[in-house]
Structure 1
Amino acid sequence: MFQYYFFLGIRSLRRNPALTALMVLTLAVGVAASISTLTILHVMSGDPIPHKSSRLFTPVMDNGPLKGYTPNDKPNDTQLTYRDVMNHLPAQIGERRTAMYGILMAIEPARKDLPAIEPEGSAVTKDFFAMFDTPFLYGQGWTDNDDKKAADVVVLGKKLAEKLYGNTNPVGQYLTMIGHQFQIVGVLNTWEPSPRFYRNATFGTQEDFFIPLASAIRHEITHAGGMGCTGDTAPGWQGRLDSECTWLSFWFELKSEGQRQELQSYLDNYAAEQRKLGRFMRQTKNKLFNVMEWLDEAKVVGNDNRLSAWLAFGFLLLCLVNTVGLLLAKFSVRASEVGVRRALGASRKEIFNQFLIESSVIGLAGGVTGLLLAFGALALIAMQSKQLTVVAHMDWQMLAITFVMSVTAAILAGLFPTWRACQVTPAIQLKSQ
């Protein structure tokens, strides 16, 4: 009977095209608005590295002065100083350790038809690639010896490599960066964790290149990003390195989540040692955040995003109320049909099933239309900025949710009109004919 009622529902859509189109469009607009907002919220709140997010930790330590400090104040910055980074890197704690900061470097392509460019990259240590499971298209990352020698080597992102060298393998070639020759040792495949949790938890496209942190320091390449400074800073590059300015990110990878307390003890002991040297005088508790805790601390998904989702679902509810009214109008004109069917022996349950399946057909049509509108809305959102391009895309989970939501919404909207249709008294309808 389901198949029979389903085809009846499809045929019923053509009885009153204007009313049917209005119901489908009302439902589609509500579904598209809620799904578009929910899709962005889903991408923003997702786990960017689920298989090891519970084993990756970033520390937050307060190196600020006592002046102006009150207990329970949060640290001025969640980044670390160069001095602390250099102390943490050789520490025998965890499986891997990496430090990084964002940079911009002028590149002179070997191809004469390409102008000089200044793409965005990161200065990192060798463990970065293994820690974050970056996929390589060609070659590999640099060695520990390259880090120690501050070698001029570079790993290119896929887009930059294709722009400079086409589809060929550029590993082994030299690229002129800031006037120096950097040897290409690897090319990353497409890798766009969303958000970029490892560097300030921002949304954006993949970095164009990666060079050793030691090489960036040797060339005195300034950082591209925020920096917090406390106290006086000596002039020059060495003054920055020796200062209490925080401008580098740092991550530990543990073998198991159970080593968290061991890492916490290491940080507390380190802070105590630095306190003897006149640093970390605030006695602020040293904190550790795994990936998901860090995204929550950084407020990647803010209250505004959640409020937008609730408003979108409120709009969907309003669309459902309108759909209820339209279904009541649609089913009310079929009272005589229901009366005849009841007189011929159809039960209220059969009438209920028929009309409910018809509502589901409307929901399916609204879902398909809503899906197309949602794709259009996400495309418009993605055009606003590069950051929104990363989050404004739909995956298979959201596709499934779209259809489930639309059909469920139509069924819920059709419950009351369907119940009203089942209350038709056959005798009264037959007498009125």
Structure 2
Amino acid sequence: MSYPDTQRLLASGQGVRRTAIFGLNDAISPVRADMAPLLVNGGATTSDFFAMFEVPFRYGNPWHADDDARKADVIVLSRATSEKLFGDVNPVGRELKLGDASYRVVGVFGDWKPLPRYYRIINGNGGAFAGSDEFFIPFSTAVRHEKRNSGNNNCNGDGPQPGYAGWIASDCTWIQFWFEGANAADQATIKAWLDDYASEQRRLGWFKRPVNTRLRNTMQWLEHLEVVGRDSRIQVWLAFGFLLVCLVNTVGLLLAKFSARAGEIGVRRALGATRREIFQQYLIEASVVGLVGAVLGLALSFAGLWLIGKQSGAMAAVAKMDWSMLLATLLLSLLASLIAGFLPTWRACQVRPALQLKSQ
């Protein structure tokens, strides 16, 4: 959205919290004689941002709302950026030069890299799955220093008047805005306020088009931007289809295997083995087959993920196996083998000892 709209929404009092953010690219001057200028990507936002998105802090804290109001020269660094500049120490209170201005470090956030980077998908360096923000400064401070956004800048008509003041006074859109609501009722209240605001601005001539406000929650926003593309959904369905084909083939192979051992089953039944014991034995055999398949499948999965990760940085960020996925893979394999082995095992238990012994 535009800067004038952003200012009005920040002052609206709607929601539990609200924040605006736009991207920045800049250089941090060397803080030691042995280092070169450090090119960094970050954002200009408000103090509410850190609480809204639950940013964990390693050192210090976010700046306060008072810092937003007085346009203070303060900065929050990422852990990696802090260690590049100052080493593995607490840098809170230190000074650094970003661009042409000096900033005081008030905090260092920890290992925080949500995937996808839903809070700044548009204009975020690296897109939804790659890249990260290395610093944050107050939104008002960035405007005071006439910082330009690092991303899209969409303008209508003849565009803005010359200069930075003309740009921020125009209807050019370059800022992302978030509201935080406590419940669904808050979302409805915010939506009604936005409708009223848009109607008023249209009457005043600021908005030229009919009112068409949209207020999406996080999941709706991700779906709207198609962060998970249709190809990925098709691949998931193909994977389940392949699993179904494998189950059918496993059932057929186990039926053939257990049918070939009908004579053995007949002898064991004649010697006193119960159907329950036969059922348990063959179901365990099916489980072992599933476990071996799971191990081989995991090996192939790790190899496939490694190859996918080599394609791009964005793919490498998501092509990883976590513990929950690893456990789910093992459990799914065992469950599938038990399901596939149930029918062959039940058929094996129906063998009549007398007929088998007589046939032999």
Please, what TM-score do these two structures have when normalized by structure 2?
0.90
Q: 1:145 deviation in Å?
A: 2.9
1:26 aligned residue: none
- 8 A Cα contact 1:142 1:185, kept in partner: yes
State the partner residue of 1:169.
90
Deviation of 1:205 after TM superposition, in Å, equals: 4.4
Return the alpha-carbon distance in structure 2 between the equivalents of residues 411 and 373 of structure 1: 22
Residues 156, 187 of structure 1: 8 Å contact kept: yes
Counterpart position of 1:76: none
- Could you tell me which residue of structure 2 aligns to residue 194 of structure 1? 115
SS of equivalent residue, structure 2 residue 174: strand
Which AA in structure 1 matches 2:166?
G
Change (3 A) 1:330 1:163: farther
Cα separation, partners in 2 of 1:237 and 1:404, compared to 1, 3 Å = same
Asked whether the equivalents of residues 205 and 390 of structure 1 are also in contact (C-alpha less than 8 Å), the reply is no
Offset at 1:115?
Answer: 2.5
Match of 1:385 among 301, 305, 312: 312
**Among 213, 237, 256, the residue aligned to 2:139:** 213
**Does 2:20 match 1:99?**
yes
Equivalence map 1:52-63=2 (5 Å):
none
Q: State the SS of the aligned residue for 1:150.
A: coil
The SS at the match of 1:195 is coil
Find the partner of 1:117 among 38, 44, 56.
38
Structure 1 residues 380-419: aligned runs within 5 Å: 380-419=307-346
CA distance in 1, matches of 2:322, 2:224: 26
Of the three residues 51, 67, 78, the one matched with 1:130 is 51
Q: Which shifted more, 164-173 or 319-328?
A: 319-328
Aligned length: 354
CA distance in 2, matches of 1:169, 1:138: 6
Question: Which whole-Å CA distance do the structure 2 matches of 1:190 and 1:103 have between them?
Answer: 20
Determine the C-alpha separation between the residues in 2 that align with 1:332 and 1:236.
85
Deviation at 1:311, TM superposition (A): 0.9
Amino acid at match of 1:305: S
Residue 311 of structure 1 is aligned with which of 225, 231, 238? 238
1:243 aligns with 2:170: yes
The structural deviation recorded for 1:365 is 2.6
1:230 aligned residue (149, 156, 161): 156
SS of 1:367's partner is helix
Deviation at 1:236, TM superposition (A): 3.2
CA RMSD of aligned residues (A): 2.3
Offset at residue 392 of structure 1 (A): 2.6
Q: 1:97 to 1:379 in 2, by over 3 A?
A: same
Displacement after TM superposition at 1:348 (Å)? 3.7
The alignment partner of 1:170 has SS state of: coil
* 1:288 counterpart SS class: coil
What's the CA shift string for 1:134-180, capped at 9, x where partnerless?
A: 11111111122322332222100111112222211111111222132
Residue number among 338, 353, 358 corresponding to 2:265 in the alignment: 338
Q: For 1:372-414, what per-residue CA distance to the aligned partner results, in whole angstroms no more than 9, with x for missing partners?
A: 4333433433343333333233344323321221011112222
C-alpha distance after superposition, 1:288-326 (max 9, x if no partner): 112222222222223221101011122222333333343
User: TM-score, normalising length from structure 1?
Assistant: 0.75
Distance 1:113 1:386 in 2: 29
Q: Deviations over 1:121-146 (max 9, x none)?
A: 11111111122221111111112232
Q: Which moved more, 1:276-285 or 1:209-218?
A: 276-285
Aligned partners of 1:348 and 1:227: how far apart in 2? 74
Among 187, 192, 202, the alignment partner of 1:275 is 202
Matched, 1:183 2:104: yes
Aligned-partner SS, 1:106: strand
What is the rounded CA distance, in whole Å, between the counterparts of 2:240 and 2:153 in structure 1? 39
Residue identity matched to 1:160: T
| C-alpha distance in structure 1 between counterparts of 2:84 and 2:310, whole Å | 22
Query: In the TM superposition, what is the alpha-carbon distance from 1:341 to its structure 2 partner?
Result: 1.0
Instruction: Please report how far the alpha carbon of residue 274 of structure 1 lies from its aligned counterpart in structure 2 after TM superposition.
Output: 0.8
Q: Which 5+ residue runs of structure 1 have no aligned equivalent?
A: 1-79
The match for 2:125 is none
- Name the SS of the counterpart of 2:294 in structure 1: helix
Higher relative contact order (CA 8 A, sep 6+): 1
**Contact 1:174 1:181 (8 Å CA) reproduced:** yes
Greater alpha carbon shift after TM alignment, 248-257 vs 118-127: 248-257
**Partner secondary structure for residue 118 of structure 2:** coil
Provide the C-alpha distance between the structure 2 equivalents of 1:359 and 1:107, rounded to a whole number of angstroms.
61
**Runs of 5+ in structure 2 lacking a partner?**
123-127
- Runs of 4+ in structure 1 displaced over 4 angstroms? none
1:204 paired with 2:118, answer no
What is the rounded CA distance, in whole Å, between the counterparts of 2:275 and 2:12 in structure 1? 75
Instruction: Supply the AA of the counterpart residue of 2:206.
Output: R
Query: Partner of 1:11 in structure 2?
Result: none
C-alpha distance in 2 between matches for 1:152 and 1:376: 48
How far apart are residue 349 of structure 1 and its match?
4.0
Q: Distance in 1 between matches of 2:129 and 2:332?
A: 28
Percent of aligned positions that are identical: 51
Aligned residues of 1:153 and 1:182 also touching (Cα < 8 A):
yes
